[in-house]
Chain A
Amino acid sequence: MSVVGQPSVKAQTPSGAEPRAGRVAQSLIKFAFMLKTVWAVLAALILGAFLVQLAGGRPVAAYSALFEGAFADYYGISSTLVRMSPLLLASLAVIIPLRAGLFNIGAEGQIYIGALLSTLVALYLPEVLPSWIHVIACIGAGALGGALWGLIPAALKAYRGTNEIITSLLLSYVAVYTVGAVLHAWLMEPGAPYPYSREIPDALVLPTFLSETEAHIGVLIAVAAALVIAVIFRQTTLGLSIQTVGHNPHAAVYAGLDVKRLTLSSFALGGAMAGLAGAFEVLGLKYRLFDHFSPGYGMQGIIVAFLAALSPLGSIVAAFFLAGLQVGAGAMQRTTGIDTTMVEALQGMIVLFVAIGLAFRYHPERWSRRVAAWQKPTQGE
Chain B
Amino acid sequence: MQAVPSRISLEGIVKTFGGFRANDDVSIHVAEGSIHAILGENGAGKSTLMNIIYGLYQPDAGRILSRGREVKISNPRQAMALGIGMVHQHFKQVDTMTVTENVVLGLPGRPVLNLAQDRKRIIDLAQELGFDIDPDQPMWSLPIGMQQRVEILKLLYRQADLLILDEPTSVLTPSEIKPFFNLLSRLRSSGRTIVLITHKLDEVMEMADRVTVMRLGRVVANIEASETNSRELARLMVGRDVIFDVTRTPPRIGSPVLEVADLVATDERGLSALNGLSLTVKAGEIVGIAGVDGNGQRELAETIAGLRKASAGTVKICGQVADRLNPAERKRRLRMGFVPEDRQKVGLDLDSDIAFNMVLRSFRLPPFSRHGWVDFAKIKTHAKQLAERYDVRMRGVGQRARDLSGGNQQKIILAREMEDEPELLIVSQPTKGLDVGAIDFVQRTLLAQRDRGTGILYISTELEELLMVADRLAVIFNGRIVGELPVSEATPERLGLLMTGKAA
Contacts and interface: CB of A to CB of B under 8 A. Distances in A.
Given A7-B24, A251-B347, A256-B328, A241 B221 contact: no
A368 to B, nearest CB: 8
A256 B17 CA distance: 34
B227 interface: yes
Interface string A1-24: 111111100010111000000000
Contacts of B24: 7, 11
Interface stretch (B133-141, B183-191, B198-206, B369-377): B369-377
A255 B351 contact: no
A235 B327 CA distance: 24
Contact of A254 (B223, B361, B369): B361
Given A3-B220, A250-B346, A236 B372 contact: yes
Given A1-B227, A236-B372, A250 B345 contact: yes
B329 interface: yes
Nearest to B348: A251
B380 to A, nearest CB: 14
A364 B58 CA distance: 12
A254 B347 contact: yes
Most buried by A among B221, B369, B374: B374
Given A7-B216, A15-B19, A241-B364, A255 B352 contact: no
How many B residues are at the interface, by size bracket? 35 or more
A240 B58 contact: no
Interface in B304-362: 305, 307, 326-329, 331, 338, 340, 345-352, 356, 360-361
A236 B346 contact: no
Nearest to B226: A1
Given A256-B327, A256-B328, A237 B345 contact: no
Interface string B455-468: 00000000000000
A364 B340 contact: no
Nearest to A13: B19
Contacts of A1: 221, 223-224, 227-228
Interface string A196-240: 000000000000000000000000000000000000000111101
Nearest to A16: B19
B373 A235 contact: yes
A248 interface: yes
Contact of B326 (A6, A244, A256): A256
A209 B397 CA distance: 46
B363 interface: yes
Contacts of A238: 372
B374 A247 contact: no
A240 B224 contact: no
Contacts of B352: 243-244, 247
Given A7-B24, A14-B60, A256-B329, A251 B372 contact: no
A240 B356 contact: yes
A258 interface: yes
A253 interface: yes
Chain B interface secondary structure, helix, strand, loop or mixed?
Answer: mixed
A6 B360 CA distance: 38
Interface in A239-284: 240-241, 243-244, 247-248, 250-258
A366 interface: yes
Contact of A251 (B218, B329, B331, B346): B346
B374 A244 contact: no
A237 B363 CA distance: 7
Interface residues of A, number: 35
Nearest to A246: B351
B19 A254 contact: no
Contacts of B21: 11, 13
Nearest to B222: A2
Contacts of A3: 220-221, 223, 236
Nearest to A6: B220
A369 interface: yes
Contacts of A250: 345-346
B403 to A, nearest CB: 13
A73 interface: no
Contacts of B221: 1-4
Given A3-B223, A237-B372, A254 B346 contact: yes
A253 B352 CA distance: 16
A205 B347 CA distance: 53
A254 B350 contact: no
Nearest to A232: B372
B16 interface: yes
Interface string B199-240: 000000000000000011111111110011000000010010
A365 B58 contact: yes
Contacts of B360: 244, 251, 254-255
Contacts of A4: 218-222
Contacts of B307: 253-254
B18 interface: yes
Contacts of A369: 58, 60
Interface in A304-334: none
A71 B236 CA distance: 69
A368 B328 CA distance: 44
A255 B350 contact: no
Contacts of A2: 221-223
Contacts of A258: 326
A7 B236 CA distance: 11
A26 to B, nearest CB: 11
Given A364-B18, A365-B17, A240 B331 contact: no
Contact of B218 (A7, A15, A257, A365): A7
Contacts of B215: 7
A157 to B, nearest CB: 20
Interface of A: 1-7, 11, 13-15, 235-238, 240-241, 243-244, 247-248, 250-258, 364-366, 368-369
8 contacts: A1-B224, A4-B222, A6-B220, A11-B217, A237-B373, A237-B374, A251-B349, A252-B349
Interface of B: 15-19, 21, 24, 58, 60, 215-224, 227-228, 236, 239, 305, 307, 326-329, 331, 338, 340, 345-352, 356, 360-361, 363-364, 369, 372-374
Of all A-B residue pairs in the complex, the 9 with the closest CB atoms, nearest first, are A256-B328, A7-B218, A247-B351, A237-B364, A3-B221, A1-B223, A251-B349, A247-B349, A11-B21
Given A248-B349, A254-B340, A256-B361, 17 more contacts: A2-B222, A4-B222, A7-B24, A13-B19, A14-B19, A238-B372, A244-B352, A248-B351, A250-B346, A251-B345, A253-B307, A253-B327, A256-B327, A256-B328, A257-B328, A368-B60, A369-B60
